[in-house]
C-alpha cells in the first residue's frame, strides 16, 4: 500500500476531484493550506497573495498510484501557475 499526498490550488479542486473519481474513494482533505512552490505564485491566503491550497491524503493500493499520476499529469500541465504536486510514500502499517 502507498500513501498519496496531493497539494493543489483550491481553485482547481473540481478538476482534481473529477480526475480522482473511481480511483480514490477514501481520503482526507485539509483546507487553507498555504505555501510557495517552485513554479507557482505564493498561496498565502492573505490580502497580497489571496489564493490557498488544499491537501488531499489517501492510502491506496500500489496499482492505483500510476492511475492517479496519469490522471493528474494533464491537470499539472494545464494549470502550471496554480500548482499541483503528488507525493507518494510507502505505508508500513495501517491500523
0.85 exceeded by pTM: yes
CA angle, residues 73, 79, 81, in degrees to nearest 5: 125
Structural fold of domain 2-90: Alpha-Beta Plaits (3.30.70)
What is the rounded CA–CA span in Å between residue 90 and residue 72? 19
Instruction: Name the average pLDDT for the chain.
Output: 95
Label residue 37 by pLDDT band (50, 70, 90).
Answer: confident
Find out whether 81 and 43 touch, Cβ atoms under 8 Å: no
Label residue 77 by pLDDT band (50, 70, 90).
Answer: very high
Average pLDDT over residues 15-28: 97
Residue 39 pLDDT exceeds 80: no
Average pLDDT over residues 59-71: 97
| Percent of the chain clearing pLDDT 90 (strictly above) | 85
Q: What is the pLDDT of residue 33?
A: 95
Amino acid at each position: 500500500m502507498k500513501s498519496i499526498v496531493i497539494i493543489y490550488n483550491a481553485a482547481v479542486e473540481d478538476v482534481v476531484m473529477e480526475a480522482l473519481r473511481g480511483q480514490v474513494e477514501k481520503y482526507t482533505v485539509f483546507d487553507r493550506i498555504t505555501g510557495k512552490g517552485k513554479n507557482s505564485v505564493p498561496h498565502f491566503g492573505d490580502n497580497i497573495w489571496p489564493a490557498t491550497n488544499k491537501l488531499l491524503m489517501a492510502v491506496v493500493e500500489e496499482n492505483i498510484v500510476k492511475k492517479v499520476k496519469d490522471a493528474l499529469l494533464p491537470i499539472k500541465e494545464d494549470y502550471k501557475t496554480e500548482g499541483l504536486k503528488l507525493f507518494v510514500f510507502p505505508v508500513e502499517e495501517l491500523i
